[in-house]
Structure 1
Amino acid sequence: MSQVIEILSGNVQFECGHRPPGAAMNAELASLADVLDAAVVIIHDVEGRILHWTSGCERLYGYPRSEAVGERVHDLLDTRYPVERAEIVATLAERGAWQGELDHRARDGSRLSVQSLWTTRQSADGATNAVLQNNHDVTSLRRTQAELAAREAHLSSILATVPDAMIVSDDHGVITSFSAGATALFGYSPDEIVGRNVKVLMPGPYRDDHSTYMDNYLRTGEARIIGYGRLVQAVTKDGKIFPVELAIGEATGAGRRIFTGFIRDLSSRQKMEQELRQAQKMDAIGQLTGGVAHDFNNILTAIIANLELLAPMLEDPDHRELAREAQGAAQDGSKLAAQLLAFARRQPLNPKPTDVGRHVAGFAEMLRRTLGEAVALELSVPTEALLAVVDGAQLQNAVLNLAINARDAMPRGGRLAVEISQVRLDPDYAQMYPEVRTGRYVLVTVTDTGSGMTEEVRRKAFDPFFTTKPVGSGTGLGLSMVYGFVKQSGGHIQLYSESGHGTSVRIYLPYAESAEPEAGPSRARPPELPKGSETILLVEDDPRLRRVLSRRLRSLGYAVVEADNGAQAMAELVARPEIALIFTDMVMPGGMTGLELAQAAVAMKPSVKILFTSGYAEPAIARLGLSSGAWLKKPYTADELAEKVREVLRQGG
């Protein structure tokens, strides 16, 4: 080919434009062209008229030489250029060569991609006399590249959308791909994690065992993880350990092994299973206690009836006193049976549409007398009527029971807050609590500042006969009776408490649309959640809750900056001046509480808004010296979060 170029660059003359198309070429060039006849070589003039057409061209394009010579090459092959043809001709005149990719049409109508090199012979005055076009078919290569690009795009779309975390690593455990789901789960961006060993995502002892497992598998083929689903633990970027289900597949490509792991976060599922087991346990205990109470009532009925018949026959005053004592004990036993029936959800109820706020306000004075002077009562009742189909007397007993428990947890005094509000439990909330039905509820929240409960005590709080009070100070049926009443009324109850930080009990009663009992579930469409575009600093030490809240806030249009403690939050506030709101938990590790963080943040940036959240402290804590503060009680639904964030951001805006 270099010889051909040399000849074209030398003194061989093409009398282009002075002979008819197809006329014989210079003998020396024609001889050399015959040597290159197997190649796809086209010789044409500047205007594209074909002077020579090799057999290689005939095989590739399908046109015989007799049909091709004399035709314009771009017309014959329907050429599609990457740039204008005039620009290519100008480049040839300036540099004597051009290279690029062309799209041609063969005789059978198929399109071909060719890599084309054009070289020219120029006259003394710089005019181009002839062009040698050497083409190389790259159609199969481009088709393969297109298929690979499509597959890569498909894989990228999978990595971006698969709900579970997907991680690809090589046989040394080095991560080569990290999906969007993996980023959301572990907290690493792909740039941070790709190239690092997968062991960074494992806590001990899994981290220590991984290399041994892999070496043994590569040496012996004995698979302990590959191809099997397995329950293990993983660790996030911020060091939080959580349960996962791991499945690993293996493939070989280009002589290399790759391992694809799918990781599913089991935190929510385990919580649901725990809630379901608790509900099943309570149902089983309820069935047992209900049966016992029924039989016990039959026995008590006989005892009381016989004592009533016996008493008039007794003449001795001492004997009559003994009979009265026995009757009193039997009456106490009857009350105990009634409490057991309440827990078993078999007590007789008289439900009717009740304005819960007005009803609770009606016995506020009784609550104050029950609490005593050392405990301050704060009652928050809405002005509008919030109706629930409920037995008013039993609701009063339930609130009184909670108040008595709160009083006993505050022997040195404190504060009890009772708040009535309206909420909507959404599908996200219902997924966490299998027995909950979505919809509108009237919420009765009873929050104290007492000693709180340990995790072990909290798990058993609703069990009948479980009590932390001294012997003789209680039956252990107060909370279990409240639990049974709420469940029998079609509602939901949740208790949030931490040792040393008080207790909050939330009673959800099904909302009644009118003064008549509901005939069925409401079909009204929920209002659209309010959205925004501001930047929110989310401060929460529980990584799973932080991930859920971050996704919720981002779905509402907000930009989210995350921190897991007060010090990190302050650093983010300095680095990100666009932060408009700090959404912080009250109790966090690291020595700085949410209140201390808020005070420091407002001192540094007075315009920043503060939104507190917690599950145990009373709502008044959010007003301790921070006019920009607001309060959102755990747990909260998506619409509660959206409304409260928007409300706080609008303050003073």
Structure 2
Amino acid sequence: MAESHKLTVVWETTDWAARWIDSTSDYAIFALTTDGRVASWNPGGESVYGYAPEEILGRPLSIFYTDEDRRDGVPEDVLRETRETGRSEAEGWRSRKDGSLFWASVILTALHDPAGQLLGYGKIVRDMSDKKRAHDAVVESERRFRMLVDGVTDYSIFMLSPDGRVTNWNQGARRIKGYAAPEIIGSHFSRFYTPEDAAAGLPQRGLETAAREGRFESEGWRVRKDGSRFWAHVVIDAIRDNDGALAGFAKITRDVTEQRETERALDETRMALYQSQKMEAIGKLTGGVAHDFNNVLQVVRGNLELIESRLSRDSQIQERLDKAIDAVERGAKLASQLLAFGRRQPLQPVVINLATALRNMDDMLRRALDETIQVETVVAGGLWNTYADVHQLENVILNLAINARDAMPDGGRLTLELGNTMLDDRYVAGLQDVPAGQYVLLAVTDTGVGMSPDILARAIDPFFTTKPEGYGTGLGLSMVYGFVKQSGGHLRLYSEVGQGTTVKVYLPRSTGSAIERPSPVSTPLRGGRETVLVVEDDAKLQSTVVDMLGGLGYTVLKADDPQQALAIIRSGVHIDLLFTDVVMPGPLKSPDMARQACETLPQLKVLFTSGYTQNAIVHGGRLDEGVELLSKPYSRDQLARKIRRLLGSPGIDLEVVEEGEREQGLAPGSLRVLVVDDDAGSADAVGALLEMLGHCPQLHKSAESADEALRKQEFDVLLTDISLPGMSGVDFALKAVRERPHIRVIFGSGSSVPPTGQLPFSWRELRKPYTADDLRGALS
């Protein structure tokens, strides 16, 4: 108690200090004896710890510590440190009377008398729990933030010093850029840029912009640790301290390569959709007019060739006929190119080897190109086969070669390359109707003027051309594109102004065996004596075709629609070939009519013709299996050769027939007419009329006499009376048609003619008396 008394004396001598202590409630201010017992207590002590003075005076210092601290001897250590150093300061958990803990800021001071003798200790304690909680919250927040930043793997997040050196590194940065933190911290961030961007000063410009404006944002190629590149979206934010001084930069980088590819694919898909819609519109337009347009061209061409075959060989007339036929061919080519762009031409693909096809075109290409153009062909070894329409493919190659020629007005080099290639999933992503797989590549490269990007973007548009007016339709590349897409392939254009153009055509690989295309053989024009049924709803076109076939020697029957054609077929008349338009009016479609006709006549051959097939006999852009098609407009020669190929036999040599007619004194277009009439006066009159009309008649008074002549000679027309002595005219006509199916029959009589439909062949009627005009009409 002596030491306690000494402290009391000290406190009493400083009244002002006592008054301050006693009035303080925020701080516990009290004295400890030299052995660490509480010697005084102020209101702050009661407020902080919860003890009244009588409850705490004389109690040891350790009462305020936690059980753990007491076990560890912390109170004793604190007193010893204070004795030795004169002062100790600490923060830590302390215990209140009710056992609750609070965070205390503690200052303990050793008190000495003037002689330096230790009197005890003065202790000041403040409850810092609120600040502790706030501090802990900040620390926890920072910890969580660090965890968050470090745990982000989709973004590279790191700090830079003011001069651009990396100061920290998160997991996203490691994943995206490939560096571990020890490998990169301290390095300059410019190492992430491509060499060309770094040389151009892009890293420093980014820092300068961020320092000046507070933020810099951009996209570009960046480099990983392994040297690979990725497309990055980058944000650099300037970090400043409380005084506004630049402390560094925060840099966030995201790998958006996949997003960029997706956007590119989406853009290409949009363009492909637009192109597809445009092609669909063009296709519908061309399909809508192609049928009628080609019908008109067929009428014009057919009649021109009929005129050509029947007129004398006047050089001026022949020249004009040639020009007119050439104009028809140009119109047909224009319609064909439009249908090709709209993917509506009927393709007849076969397995071919492009190297063979290219070799077969060598002479044709060299004739089409100027001597100033050097042609080089490069064919890879082991070239795969492909499946394509040979004729249309040759048109594609020729079109590309001519385009290249026009792009090299002063000469240059044209390179045609063939090789095998693979289009993988990455390449075809976003491309419409281009499956991944193996393709045969045809690349046509010129060293011409090239195309600017805006022209390149429109290069395949129909009617778009940079050539002067009159030098091109703008359908060449459009046709190429349409053919390639219709063949299941892919087209890619590359061009640069002043450097030239490359057109790459990818056609799907075929594992089938390539067929060898037979070399064209020049053969004379051949006709025949078979019977052809023509089904055509256009009257003018029907008449033209009937005359063309008649001029080729065929017996021709005609029908205006499929229903009428079936009626003729089911009548029992002999028919060798059904020649029908594809697009016909009425409920019965031509393909259905042809199918029913073949069921009735199993040996019947069928040849379709059309200016536009729609989807009747063409599916997936390819002609149906086993279907024969002659596209309009066609020439007399094409018609003759197609029919002979279908009917199989050699037929008749028209040049020999025409020579025989000339020897008999027949003018071009003259008909050999077998006239049967028992009335001599009537027969003589008919013979005179026929001669006046330029034909060659042979007169007979009975069917028996005419039958003998028919067995020995060829006749084009049988003109017979109905009532004859012996065999009737009708019976003789039946016999004549059976023996000579090509012969045409005209009944000339003053009595009734058999009703239509009772005879199994086509015939005409002339009621006596008839005029020369009547006779001319019946013979036409």
TM range (shorter): 0.3 to 0.5
**Between Structure 1 and Structure 2, whose CA radius of gyration is higher?**
2
TM-score (norm 2): 0.41
Taking structure 1 as the reference length, the TM-score comes to 0.47
